[in-house]
Every structure is written in structure tokens, then in C-alpha cells.
Amino acid sequence: MFWKIVSSGVIGNALEMRGWDAEYVIFHAGSGDTHLINHGAQFILQCLRIGMAETNQLVDQLAQHSGCEADDDLRTLTRETLLDLERLGVIEQHAK
């Protein structure tokens, strides 16, 4: 199962992002909603902007980015962040 950013249905970026001091605000064009997210969630969204990805791929990329082990704690944190973003309607699961 892959994760992807929910399409906005219009031409242009589905997501706009701006950040200051490791916190970010994002605008999702599809829903018109604005959300406050942390650095980890922002990094995941940056990865998904490039293309769909599985959870384990995102865990590995996060580990590389933050210079830490891809351990159980990181996997749990990544899964929770993905579920939070899904609840916000920003990302969705997709069977490739």
C-alpha cells in the first residue's frame, strides 16, 4: 500500500507550504484547509510531493534525513504521522 497526496482536482500545486523554526503551515488546495504541522510531517509531505511512497520507504528517508536509526520508535512515529495527515485529508492510501 502506498501513500500519496490527495489531489486538489485543479491545475497547480495541491499543497502550499511555508515554514519557520521547524514548524510549518500548509494549505491543501483540494479541501481549502490550512494546517499547522511539525518538521517530521513536513518532510514526509515533501517526499510525497515527489511521488507515492510506502511507509517503510518514508521511514528510511526520515532516518537518513535526521541521521538516526530506522528503528521501531521511528516506524511508530512515522505511522502515527501518516495517520494524522490522513485524518486531515491531506494524504491518502493508494494501491499501486
Partner 1 sequence: MILSDLTAQMSAQRLRTSGLHLRMGNIVVRIRSTLPAIIDGINTLYGDYPLARDEEFTDFHIELDRPRNLRGLVRPQVRFLLDGRAPFLPLPLPQAMPMFEWGLNWCITHHIHSYLMIHAAVVEKNGRAVMLPAPPGSGKSTLCAALVLRGWRLLSDELTLIDTTNGAVVPMPRPISLKNQSIDLIGSFSRDAVIGASVRDTVKGTVALMRPPAASVKNSLLTSTLRWIIFPQFLAESDASLTNIAKSRAFMRVADNAFNYGELGPTGFTVLADAIESATAHDFVYSKLEEAIDCFDRLESSP
Binding residues for partner 1 (CB under 8 A): 12-13, 16, 18-21, 23-25, 27, 29, 32, 34, 36
Q: Closest CB to partner 1 among 6 and 74?
A: 6
Q: Is 35 helix (H, G, I), strand (E, B) or coil?
A: strand
At its nearest, how many Å lie between partner 1 and the CB of residue 31? 11
**Using CA atoms, how far apart are residues 42 and 39, in angstroms rounded to an integer?**
5
Is residue 95 within a helix (H) or strand (E), and if so which, with residue range?
none
Ranges of H-type helices in 1-96: 39-50, 55-66, 72-87
Q: Closest CB to partner 1 among 1 and 36?
A: 36
At its nearest, how many Å lie between partner 1 and the CB of residue 91? 18
